[in-house]
Amino acid sequence: MLARVTHLTSPDELAAALEGTGYLPDEGLATAAYLALAMHRPLFLEGEAGVGKTALAHALAEVTGRPIYRLQCYEGLEASQALYDWDFGRQLLHLRAAEAAHAADNPDALEASLYDRRFLLARPLLQALEDSPSVLLIDEIDRADDEFEAFLLEVLSDFTISIPELGTVRAVTPPLVILTSNRTREVHDALKRRCLYHWLQHPDFDREVAILRRRLPEVTEQLAREVARATARLRTLDLLKPPGIAEAMDWATALHTLGARELDPDTAARTLGAVLKYREDTERVQQQVRGVLFGA
């Protein structure tokens, strides 16, 4: 598995490998991912929702043949949900069973057996270090709070976790860490400094068509092109939520499900819900569907 990684000696090769999995990166993103692998540095991806930040992590896991561990962040996320936790229930049962078997005569041995690895519940960060080499996806770090960020900084700086009762866990090979953020909050500089930073943009027209064609082979070429063109126009409209590539894919799927082979104003108006997620946006576009989307 590791052999596949060492074969990648340039961003272009990585880009080609990623394309093989159906993820089409541009030059910057391929370079970013390549450097993250080569330099063992976490990759911090920022960008609008739906531009393919999370998908990149999955594609990289596939390319490198590594297992992926995903930590979804939210406010109040604690070390016991991110690192490890002791399975107290089972520890208690073990204790009772030991008592029943009169094993309590040797308290030291009993205590040692309580803090055995089998009573440890590994959470994503610990899993990623133990199952090395791996891909660790820390999704939507902007949703976590400052306390968690500070804690993450500690783990990402040396890729070790110390468990007082068991000892230190160190990754043989540092995991490939991908952090994503939708920028709902400014993430602290100290964390960003340890990472490679990449701002992901909406793909250009040709790439978007290619992505649609690749991900949705059942959609006709013409429909893919028209959806990509219409989506690109929607992005220029100053909407509350400009559609991302994920919405474009939803839209193409919706149109395809309705049996459309090309985009016409009527079907477009009926399926706008797949691509616009705010009532204000939908109303605005609905009124002028023809003009806005078809440039009439």
Partner 1 sequence: MPETSTATRDVVDTVLGFARTLRAAGVTASPDRVEAMLAAVGHLDVLDASDVYWAGRLTLCSSPDDLDRYDAAFAAWFGGERPRAPHPAAPELRVVSTMAPLDAGEGEGEEFSGSEELAVQASAAEVLRHRDVGELSPAEREHLRRLFTVLRPAAPMRPSRRRRPSSAGPVHPARTVRRALRDGGEVTRLLHRRSAPRHRRVVLLVDVSGSMSPYADALLRFAHVAVRARPSSTEVFTIGTRLTRVTRELRLRDPDRALVATGSAIPDWSGGTRLGEVLKAFLDRWGQRGTARGAVVVVCSDGWERGGTELLGEQMARLRRLAHAVVWVNPHKGREGYEPLAGGMRAALPSVDVFVAGHSMAAFEELSGVIQRA
* Helix residue ranges, H only, 216-264: 221-235, 245-257
39 binds partner 1 (CB under 8 A): yes
Cβ neighbours, 10 Å, residue 73:
22
Give buried/exposed letters for 96-129 (b at 16+ CB in 10 A, else e). Answer: eebeeeeeeeeeeeeeebbeeeebbebbbbbbbb
Q: Which is nearer to partner 1, 2 or 39 (CB)?
A: 39
235 binds partner 1 (CB under 8 A): no
Dist CA 275 CA 35 (whole Å): 34
Dist CA 260 CA 52 (whole Å): 26
185 binds partner 1 (CB under 8 A): yes
163 binds partner 1 (CB under 8 A): no
Cβ neighbours, 10 Å, residue 45:
25
Residue from 46, 139, 208, 281 binding partner 1 (CB under 8 A): 46
Nearest to 82 by CA among 133, 131, 149, 142: 149
Nearest to 224 by CA among 234, 214, 233: 214
Which pair of structure tokens corresponds to residue 23? 């993820």
Which pair of structure tokens corresponds to residue 194? 């340890």
108 binds partner 1 (CB under 8 A): no
Residue from 4, 16, 22, 28 binding partner 1 (CB under 8 A): 28
Question: Which one of the spans 89-97, 169-177, 207-215, 281-289 is the region binding partner 1 (CB under 8 A)?
Answer: 89-97
Site string for partner 1, 121-160 (x = CB under 8 A): ---------------------x--xxx-------------
86 binds partner 1 (CB under 8 A): yes
Residue from 240, 283, 287, 288 binding partner 1 (CB under 8 A): 240
For the bound state, the minimum distance from the C-beta of residue 233 to partner 1, rounded and expressed in Å, comes to 18
Which pair of structure tokens corresponds to residue 3? 């052999």
Site string for partner 1, 193-222 (x = CB under 8 A): x--xxxx-----------------------
13 binds partner 1 (CB under 8 A): no
Chain-centre distance for alpha carbon 259? 32
78 binds partner 1 (CB under 8 A): yes
Cβ neighbours, 10 Å, residue 260:
22
Binding interface with partner 1 (CB under 8 A) = 10-11, 27-28, 31-32, 34-35, 38-39, 41, 46, 74-76, 78, 80, 85-86, 88-89, 91-92, 95-96, 99, 104, 114, 142, 145-147, 182-186, 189, 192-193, 196-199, 238, 240
